[in-house]
Amino acid sequence: MIFGLVHPLLDISTTVDQHYLDRFGLKANDGILAQEKHRELYDELLNGSRFDVKKIPGGATQNALRVAQWYLRERHATTIVGCVGDDKVGQDMKELLDREGCRTELMVAEGANTGTCAVLVSAGANRSMVTRLDAANLYKHSHLISDKVWSIVQESSFFYVSSFMLNCSCDTITTIGDYAVKENKCFMMNLSAPYLSSLFKDAMQTVLPYCDIVVGNSDEALALAENFKFNVTELYEVVKMLADLPKHNKQRKRIVMITQQELPVIVYSDGDIVEYPVISISSEDIVDTNSAGDAFVGGFLAGYAVEKPLKDCVQNGIEAAHMILQVSGCTLTLRD
């Protein structure tokens, strides 16, 4: 079973025109954290009747786990742990995740709003994303070590976390990491965003030694190399140095996977680097690129959790990313 520590967000997607974007000072193709001036935007999307709104569970780590669950099919093959508010948005998201087969053990922060991401689709398949973290940033270590949640940790064979969680839950991540090392279970972290290796450098340095698998994109890897003073800029060298960073679990050799959009996925394992070409796709067939990286991780996780060969796991991730590129958001068809 795969255990994921996530920022649970509910994506609220709708189509708007340029005038609506201008009203809130938004760019057509961008991603920002919500400000006070965006409060009215959320009120209109959540409470109004003007828009045809689509609600999809979101957040990078949550999306990866949803994709893994979709592939694995067995109900509760994945567990999603994080923090939501005591509101209808949190209830809606939990119901949607349950419908997809994911198990959720969500801490509820009283008086807080569940994290949301407004996804505003405009002409040319552009997407302006406005994220309100709210309760997602309030997760507490005490929830992890509660009897119920810790029993799920003990049942799990694979742990996946996002670097976004370094902000609020570094102690939670290291507790999971200590357990994974002790029991020789696999621990994987996503670099998540280029700025995180600078803003949370100390926390990332603390957590990286627990990582058996590190995944990210080329921008994130190069930013980490600069912030950690690797003194190299060639991506192959960055990958090797990342793999050679100190490691707690000596029974597992670190795997590093770096995606490069339309360029091959770089995978370092057991001293060798292999490039895996992605599946070609025409620009006309691309609906949304925002969740492709999440889908890659989800497809990989689904294979790795059932002990498929590494090359098959990577290929599974590439196929998952190709699938998600052709739909809006991380939209998954329900299976029986």
Contact 216, 267 (CB under 8 A): no
Question: Which residue among the candidates 17, 294, 312, 336 is catalytic per the annotation?
Answer: 294
Distance (Å, whole) CA 328 – CA 332: 10
Annotated catalytic residue 285: no
Residue with tokens 């795969």: 2
Distance (Å, whole) CA 53 – CA 12: 6
Residue with tokens 């979101």: 58
Please give the C-alpha separations between residue 234 and each of 71, 221, 237, 278, in angstroms, as whole numbers.
34, 10, 5, 21
Q: Please, which residues have CB within 8 angstroms of residue 136's CB and are 6 or more apart in sequence?
A: 7, 8, 9, 59, 82, 83, 84, 114, 115
Task: Name the phi and psi angles at 246, rounded to 5.
Answer: -50, 150
First to last CA, the chain: 20
- 234: helix, strand or coil: coil
User: Which residues are part of the catalytic machinery?
Assistant: 294
